[in-house]
Copies of this chain bind each other. A is one copy, B any other.
Amino acid sequence: MSQGVSRPGPILVINPNSSEIVTQGLSDALAGFRFPAGPAIECVTITEGPTGVVTQREVDESALRVGDLIAARPDCGAYVIACYSQPGLDLGRSLTKQPVLGIQDAGVLAALSLADSFGVIAVSPLSIPRHLRTLRRLGVEQRLAAEVALEGISVADSGHGEESFGQLLRAGERLLAAGAGAVVLGCAGMSGHRARLEQALGVPVIDPTQAAVATALGLLLTAG
């Protein structure tokens, strides 16, 4: 949280799955957030992670790896856990005084800054109960219009191709029908479709990693 006249430390965007494609997609989606006087935005892959963080064991194992990585990088100004299940959020916060942000929290809170209620598109039905527990913990579950899942799409494929876009579009339309005033992409891998989906749906579509990095930037750019 401290700042000075010098350039702030980097924002470390942590992809807990081993997919370099996902990490590259994150980095591409964050291109607009990089500028000379601002903090570096480093996107890193936890190479020993699973190909996607889907099961609870994958979440819990990822938590320790994320914690280790945060502890190993005390030079950073802020940390973003770029997985919608937010593995290691509490652990990271116990290890550093710098901001540690989870993308579900950041994405949902960004949606609430724009709209009265929000919907979420999950990459898998298996993830939804976990997401709902996190929403209850965050205290805003009453503002959720609905959460719906894609089917048979991998994390890596969720941000590319017509098949996944078509599923995202149908999911988004169901969310609008349920009353959502904004849509949160419920996976770090979907950012490639964000702008096109927003255009198609006509309401804000939030990429949660972008939302988290924006929040982190806001904290780091505030020289007193």
A210 touches which of B136, B192, B194, B222 (Cβ 8 Å) = B222
Check A195/B3 contact, CB under 8 A, given A32-B223, A210-B222, A218-B217.
yes
Per-position binary interface string of chain A over residues 86-117, scored 1 when its CB falls under 8 Å from any chain B CB and 0 otherwise = 00101101110001010001100110111010
Q: A16-24, A43-51, A52-60: which lies at the B interface?
A: A52-60
Q: In the assembled complex, how far is the CB of residue A155 from the closest CB belonging to chain B, in whole angstroms? A: 18
Q: In the assembled complex, how far is the CB of residue A213 from the closest CB belonging to chain B, in whole angstroms? A: 7
Q: In the assembled complex, how far is the CB of residue A2 from the closest CB belonging to chain B, in whole angstroms? A: 5
A210 near B214 with CB under 8 A, answer no
B194 near A224 with CB under 8 A, answer yes
CA–CA, A59 to B141, complex, Å?
Answer: 25
CA–CA, A138 to B114, complex, Å?
Answer: 11
Copies per complex of this chain? 6
Q: Is A178 an interface residue (CB 8 A)?
A: no
Check A213/B218 contact, CB under 8 A, given A90-B56, A133-B137, A138-B112.
yes
CA–CA, A99 to B206, complex, Å?
Answer: 12
A222 touches which of B99, B113, B207 (Cβ 8 Å) = B207
Check A215/B217 contact, CB under 8 A, given A1-B198, A105-B113.
no
Q: Is A61 an interface residue (CB 8 A)?
A: yes
Q: Is A122 an interface residue (CB 8 A)?
A: no
Check A140/B140 contact, CB under 8 A, given A57-B67, A198-B2, A218-B217.
yes
A91 near B140 with CB under 8 A, answer no
Q: Is A36 an interface residue (CB 8 A)?
A: yes
- By a beta-carbon cutoff of 8 Å, the part of chain A in contact with chain B is 1-3, 29, 31-33, 35-38, 55-57, 59-61, 63-64, 67, 88, 90-91, 93-95, 99, 101, 105-106, 109-110, 112-114, 116, 129-130, 132-133, 136-143, 181, 192, 194-196, 198-199, 204, 207, 210-215, 217-219, 221-224
Q: Can you add 7 more A-B contacts, CB < 8 Å, to A64-B64, A106-B113, A137-B137?
A: A57-B64, A57-B91, A60-B88, A60-B90, A101-B113, A207-B222, A214-B214
The 7 A-B residue pairs whose C-beta atoms are closest, nearest first, are: A195-B224, A214-B218, A32-B221, A35-B35, A56-B94, A109-B109, A137-B137
